[in-house]
Structure formats: C-alpha cells, structure tokens
Amino acid sequence: MMFPKAQLGRNPAFRELAHGKPCMLRIPGVCCGNPETTVLAHSNQGVHGKGKSLKSGDEFGVWGCYTCHTWLDQGNAGREEKSQAFAVAMDRMEAELLKIAGDVLAKKRDRDAATWALNRLVEFYLS
C-alpha cells in the first residue's frame, strides 16, 4: 500500500528534548524504564513518511528507552502490534508535549521544540 510522503521535519532541539525523559512506549516485559537511555524513536509507518532508507519526521517520534526502541525497530512483534503500541505512545507523547509547551518555567528552547512538534502534528492531522 502506498502512502503520500509527509513533509519531513527535522528539529535538533526536539530530538535533544528526549534526553533523560521517561519512556513513552512502555512495552510490557521489554521496557527497562531507564531515562538515561531515552532517545527519540521515530515512527516506522509509511503514513508518517517512513520509506526504505528514509526516517519519518521528528514530529512522528516518541521518547523511547533503549530496549523499547530496539523492540520497535527490530523486535519480533508484528506490524499491527507495533503500530498500536506506537499510537498509544504518541498519545502519551502529545500530552507531555502540551505540558512542556505550556510550562512557563521550562526552558524556552524546550517550549519552542514542543510547540514545533505539536504544530506539525496538527498540520498533519488536518491535511
């Protein structure tokens, strides 16, 4: 099945925001729960712009610990199971980004990065 390619977004500040954050994937029996290993885990779905050697946009990423990120990219689970886990993680992620975007005590760079991702997601969902 072919999906139209999304305009891929890259935002280093948004990727860096993942450092030290809790895992949003939280795969039962897999998650190590160690925020020191957290990075931005990109969607592997074509609808989000993933292609053969093309990563989806940063806005289609969730904070994932090392073990959950490995499960998402290389685990034995089926595509549907991974898609469902990612969708749940995206819901968690969006809630966290809303908190950061509205937190006047957060660093401006973090607020801007969270706002960037939320705006990109709104554009995607409305298109």
pLDDT in the model for residue 33: 95
CA distance 37 to 46: 26
Q: What burial letters (b/e) apply to 70-94, b meaning 16+ CB within 10 Å?
A: ebbeebeeeeeebeebbeebbebbb
Side chain identity, residue 118: L
pLDDT in tens, 22-79: 999 999 999 999 999 999 999 988 677 676 667 889 999 999 999 999 999 999 999 9
- 19 part of the active site: no
The CATH number of 12-126, from 3.30.50.20, 3.40.50.1370, 3.30.750.24, 1.10.443.10, is 3.30.50.20
E strand or H helix at 84: helix 79-101
The reported pLDDT for the residue numbered 6 is: 43
d(CA 29, CA 26): 9
Question: What pLDDT digit, counting tens, does each position of 13-35 carry?
Answer: 999 999 999 999 999 999 999 99
Residue 11 makes CB contacts below 8 A (sequence gap 6+) with 58, 59, 113, 116, 117
Query: Domain limits of the chain?
Result: 12-126
